[in-house]
Chains A and B, each alone.
Chain A
Amino acid sequence: MKAFWNLMIAEVKLYLREPVAAFFTIAYAPMMLILFGMIYGNKPEAIFGGLGTMDISVPSYIGLIIVTVGLISVPIDTATNRDKGILRRFRATPLHPEIYLAADVTGNYLMTLIGVLLLVVIGKLAYHIHFSGNWLSVFLGFTLSALAFYALGYLLAALAPTARIAQTVGMVLAFPMMFISGATIPIEVLPHGVRQAANFIPLTHVVTLMRGLWFGDPWSAHLIEVTILVGTLVVSSLLAAHLFRWE
């Protein structure tokens, strides 16, 4: 327990000391919100079924934060810890790998959560965004989405021979996803072909699920998204556990 706690605190401190990671996790989504808020405001739009741009942006940007942590921070950190012999050094102690993993996941989850809370608070205060869902459902949907993307991130770290490759592949995957999934630009304004293609990327399902739960959809309306995200979580975790090398 002591080990878990200390590792998690170290994880959070290291995250905050890495300016680029901290910026993209905590400040990027709120900045985008303010920027688009200045352009579009939050007036009701027919295309969004009477909701404003800010109303739909907040739940969508949750996906932006999740993909940043999952596909960029997690693989870079994990592969770097492996390449630098940090994991090797841990292995020479009685620390169990499960505790390391649990602390790492928790630390990343806390950072994601801080980013999301900041986004929601700014949305509420600055644009009085609508919320007609159930907080618990939103929280659970967020947690499922985050874990599924962390699992993808660990899988990427396990597959990448070096931290540099993990970083490059993570960014190559993350940036297009951000723009065609609806996490940055509302899915409604994207061309039909792009929307079709977007169905094949997991982030689209995160955005659909978060927007749905945010405005009160029942879980039964999102069985496809839940199935895809649980599937991503389970398959990636099993593969990552099987393929991961400590050095």
Chain B
Amino acid sequence: MAVIQVEGLRKTYGDLVAVDGISFQVQEGEVFGMVGPNGAGKTTTIECIEGLRQPDGGVITLLGMDPQKDGYQLHQRIGAQLQEAGLPDRLKVGEAMRLFASFYRHSVEWRSLLEQFGLAEKEKAYFGGLSGGQKQRLFIALALINNPEMVFLDELTTGLDPQARRAMWDLVRNIRGQGKTVFLTTHYMEEAEQLCDRVVVIDRGKIVALDTPAALIRSLGAEKRVAFTLSGSLDLQPFRRVPGVAKVERIGERVVIYGQGEKLLSGVVTILEQANVPFRDLHTEQPTLEDVFLALTGREMRD
């Protein structure tokens, strides 16, 4: 069942077309990710769905309702972590939780939420005194305070350290495990690959791809790489005859062999052993969502 249906969504800011007629659906219980370069229109899209921005065209249905007309009712049932939001500096963490809990008909026990997010000992701390990552965690805790059916996370791990990021991934998996639907945006392709059932790639307000991470990687036909470092000299010609090899590259001591198929690694290793030359740092690199992302959206920087 589709919990979000977006049909021809369009949003402009003056002359700028931020979202240019996009359509997609999010299914109940899935983690749906939206990736795209800066300014691609991710926040605009997610906030139109949340009912915080008014679309200029298209139809959005969220949990069977219209976010523009039924905003208050929908906000009882969804949770949102916004890319840009704040709280008063002199409001304490526990006070913020209690305050937000009071906005909803039903709320969960906020102390255990704080504990889950590693903020239990910050209950009496001022919001203004929290670190960037702690603020981020507090906002995600606030997004869950009403035990929502559907959670929106706009850049959930921006500003978090690697430990906190991984802890956050566990929390998202946990949210999914409870049967909730998650709609997230991210700039970290590893995150999208790890967390999302399906990923939509948008660029300049348009959808350029939408599929499971694995299918996206496959569709790109990206090559695996086998790389190693050589100390002596070696004729690279035999590597070109290994089944599946597409390209052999040598930069100084470093050799990278691009190709596909199961035999790639064993073929390369066999040649190395036969040649009996010293080598180190042998490893394979799988194509990742990041390769897909860069292939689809190009390498030049966006505004």
* Cross-chain contact A92 with B86 (CB below 8 angstroms): no
User: Does B103 reach chain A (CB closer than 8 Å)?
Assistant: yes
A1-38, CB under 8 A of B: which get 1 and which 0?
01101110010011001100000000000000000000
Complex CA gap A95/B142 in Å reads 14
User: Does B174 reach chain A (CB closer than 8 Å)?
Assistant: no
Residues of A within 8 A of B82 (CB): 85, 88-89, 92
* Cross-chain contact B52 with A91 (CB below 8 angstroms): yes
Complex CA gap A80/B86 in Å reads 10
Stretch at the interface among B24-32, B72-80, B234-242: B72-80
Complex CA gap A86/B139 in Å reads 11
* Choice from B72, B80, B88 contacting A14 with Cβ under 8 Å: B88
Assuming A93-B103, A95-B103, is B84 touching A88 (CB within 8 A)?
Answer: yes
* Cross-chain contact A88 with B52 (CB below 8 angstroms): yes
* Choice from A17, A89, A93, A94 contacting B87 with Cβ under 8 Å: A89
Complex CA gap A44/B148 in Å reads 68
Complex CA gap A14/B91 in Å reads 7
Interface range on chain B (Cβ under 8 Å from partner): 20 to 34
User: Does B279 reach chain A (CB closer than 8 Å)?
Assistant: no
Stretch at the interface among B93-101, B161-169, B197-205, B255-263: B93-101
Complex CA gap A18/B52 in Å reads 30
Total cross-chain contacts (CB, 8 A) = 65
* Choice from B75, B90, B99 contacting A94 with Cβ under 8 Å: B75
- Closest partner residue, chain A, to B50 (CB atom): A92
Residues of A within 8 A of B286 (CB): none
- Closest partner residue, chain B, to A88 (CB atom): B85
User: Does B102 reach chain A (CB closer than 8 Å)?
Assistant: yes
Complex CA gap A120/B128 in Å reads 36
**Interface CB pairs A-B, < 8 A, 22:** A3-B102, A5-B102, A7-B99, A10-B88, A13-B95, A14-B88, A14-B91, A18-B90, A84-B87, A84-B88, A85-B85, A85-B86, A88-B52, A88-B82, A90-B103, A92-B80, A93-B103, A94-B73, A94-B103, A94-B104, A94-B105, A95-B103
**B-side interface residues toward A, CB under 8 Å?**
50, 52, 72-73, 75-76, 80, 82, 84-88, 90-91, 95, 98-100, 102-105, 139, 142
Q: A14-B88, A96-B72 are in contact. List 8 more A-B contacts (CB 8 A).
A: A3-B103, A10-B99, A13-B91, A13-B95, A14-B90, A85-B82, A92-B80, A94-B73
4 nearest A-B residue pairs (beta carbon): A84-B86, A89-B85, A6-B102, A85-B86
